[in-house]
Structure formats: structure tokens, C-alpha cells
């Protein structure tokens, strides 16, 4: 975890780009999912596209991306854009934009597996803010109606989005309870507890699609970034980067 966090910080600092807060809130989930849970027949869709950096670092930790590739992050003509791009990396099948488009794609992949009799699950990592988008509720209706147990949703519930807290921008109340109303199996966990993440994803669901709602902290592990909306946007100065490295080195 420490090594991945340090590499994520360096990658964002060297490229001079922001979105680091939401990357840090989801990094444990991405690492745990890819290292401990997913098998060869499983697929992954990143719906919260702002966390592309955390996905790239996770793939780097698996040996699927090289150090040289990470050095091109957010550069001209790169395969590692600020949001995932298609037809560049085998592990990234779709361009999903900033957020809000992954769930429908995951549902389509899952239905395709079912119709073709293929094994494996489709994991989709979402943010809490993107549930403001109607396309996700349409996709959820489809998943529930088809009882697509091949889909597993992970929700990074850090409570912040681009213009403030999720409660201030468009308060949905308890997202977990709303998802339960669709007849889904919902498990609520600490999104920074890797053992809890693994258990929630490995323990078989009953006869319904599974949703793991993970309570997280935006900017997790860097005290001056934690729970601060501005770190949805800001790049780090040299001084801030050094401070972040010092704190992350103690993880």
C-alpha cells in the first residue's frame, strides 16, 4: 500500500494534475480487488474516471504497466489519460469519461457473459457523487430486473464531489438503503480496511446482485488533503508533495 501510494503521488506531481483526493480514497479498494479477489475470468470497469491514476498504479503493481508507461501519465499522445481511454490497455475496455457511464457498460458485459455462458464477474467501481446521474438509476433498474448477479458494484462513499459535499449538492440520504430498495444485497464496510474489502467481495452473495458501499475519506493518508473538496481539483506544489510523501511513507 505504501509503495503504491508513493507512486501515485509522484505520478500526479510529475504531471502537474489534480484529482488526487478521489484517487487516494479508492486506492485500497482497487489494490485489494485486483490483488486478492479478481480471477482470470473477471473484468473490471472504472466508472469514477477521475481515479484513473489509482487504476494505473494498481496495474503497475501487478506488472501490467511499466514504469516507463507511468512516466507518460497525462502527457501528449499518452495511453494513460486523465480519464481511461479505449483501445490502449487490455485491462481498460471502454472510455468512460469522468464518471457516470461505467455501470451501464458493466451491466452489458455481465449480460453478455450470461447469454454466452461465460464464467466470471464484472466489477464496477463508482463514486457516490455519480449517483446524481439518472443513467445510473436506469442501469440499476436493468440490473435488478435481470437479476444480474454477474455484476458487483463498489461505491466509493467519500461524501464529497466537485462542488461540495454530496449532502449539499443533491442529498440522497442513505445511498445504501436506496440500493436495498432495488432488491440488491448491500454490504457496508470501511473502504480503507483491506481485509474488510476482501471479505465483502469474496463472501458469496445470496441470489441477488451485490453492492459494497465503502465509507472512505477523500485524500486518505495525507492529512492536509483529507475531507477537503479542493483536492478534487488541485495539483500539488513542491512543498505539498514533500509533505505528502513524508506522511505516506509512514503508512
Residue 86 clears pLDDT 90, i.e. is over it: no
Q: What's the CA gap between 214 and 200, in Å, rounded?
A: 10
Task: Give me 31's grid cell.
Answer: 489494490
Task: Give me 93's grid cell.
Answer: 475496455
pTM: 0.95
Residue 27 clears pLDDT 70, i.e. is over it: yes
pLDDT at site 30: 98
Task: Report domain extents, the chain.
Answer: 2-248
Out of 3.40.190.10, 1.10.1040.10, 2.60.40.10, 3.40.50.970, which CATH number does the structure's domain 2-248 have? 3.40.50.970
How many Å separate Cα 242 from the centre of its chain? 25
Q: What's the CA gap between 22 and 6, in Å, rounded?
A: 15
Residue 98 clears pLDDT 80, i.e. is over it: no
* DSSP state for residue 215 in the 8-state scheme: E
Please, which pLDDT band fits residue 24 given cuts at 50, 70 and 90? very high
Please, which pLDDT band fits residue 205 given cuts at 50, 70 and 90? confident
CB 60 within 8 A of CB 73: no
DSSP 120-171: --EEEEEESGGGGSHHHHHHHHHHHHHT-TTEEEEEEE-SEETTEEHHHHH-
Mapping DSSP to helix (H, G, I), strand (E, B) and coil, where does residue 221 land? coil
CB 143 within 8 A of CB 181: no
Q: What's the CA gap between 199 and 37, in Å, rounded?
A: 9
Q: What's the CA gap between 118 and 115, in Å, rounded?
A: 8
Please, which pLDDT band fits residue 206 given cuts at 50, 70 and 90? confident
Chain segment 110-164, per-residue pLDDT in tens: 999 999 999 999 999 999 999 998 999 999 999 999 999 999 999 999 999 888 8
Look over the chain and give the mean of its residue pLDDT values, rounded to a whole number: 94
Lowest mean pLDDT among 2-11, 112-121, 165-174: 165-174
Residue 217 clears pLDDT 80, i.e. is over it: yes
Amino acid at each position: 500500500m505504501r509503495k503504491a501510494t508513493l507512486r501515485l503521488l509522484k505520478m500526479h506531481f510529475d504531471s502537474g494534475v489534480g484529482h488526487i483526493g478521489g484517487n487516494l480514497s479508492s486506492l485500497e479498494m482497487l489494490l485489494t480487488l485486483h490483488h486478492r479477489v479478481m480471477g482470470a475470468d473477471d473484468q473490471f470497469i472504472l466508472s469514477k474516471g477521475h481515479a484513473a491514476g489509482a487504476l494505473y498504479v494498481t496495474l503497475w503493481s501487478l506488472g501490467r504497466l511499466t514504469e516507463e508507461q507511468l512516466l507518460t501519465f497525462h502527457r501528449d499522445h499518452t495511453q494513460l489519460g486523465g480519464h481511461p481511454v479505449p483501445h490502449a490497455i487490455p485491462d481498460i475496455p471502454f472510455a468512460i469519461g469522468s464518471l457516470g457511464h461505467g455501470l451501464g457498460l458493466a451491466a452489458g458485459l455481465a449480460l453478455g457473459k450470461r447469454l454466452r455462458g461465460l464464467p466470471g464477474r464484472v466489477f464496477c467501481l463508482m463514486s457516490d457523487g455519480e449517483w446524481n446521474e439518472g443513467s445510473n438509476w436506469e442501469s440499476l433498474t436493468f440490473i435488478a430486473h435481470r437479476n444480474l448477479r454477474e455484476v458487483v458494484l463498489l461505491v466509493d462513499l467519500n461524501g464529497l464531489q466537485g462542488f461540495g459535499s454530496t449532502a449539499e449538492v443533491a442529498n440522497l440520504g442513505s445511498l445504501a438503503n436506496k440500493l436495498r430498495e432495488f432488491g440488491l444485497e448491500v454490504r457496508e464496510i470501511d473502504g480503507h480496511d483491506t481485509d474488510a474489502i476482501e471479505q465483502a467481495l469474496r463472501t458469496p452473495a445470496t441470489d441477488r446482485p451485490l453492492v459494497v458501499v465503502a465509507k472512505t475519506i477523500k485524500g486518505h493518508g495525507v492529512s492536509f488533503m483529507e475531507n477537503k473538496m479542493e483536492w478534487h481539483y488541485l495539483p500539488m506544489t513542491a512543498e505539498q508533495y514533500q509533505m505528502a510523501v513524508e506522511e505516506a511513507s509512514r503508512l
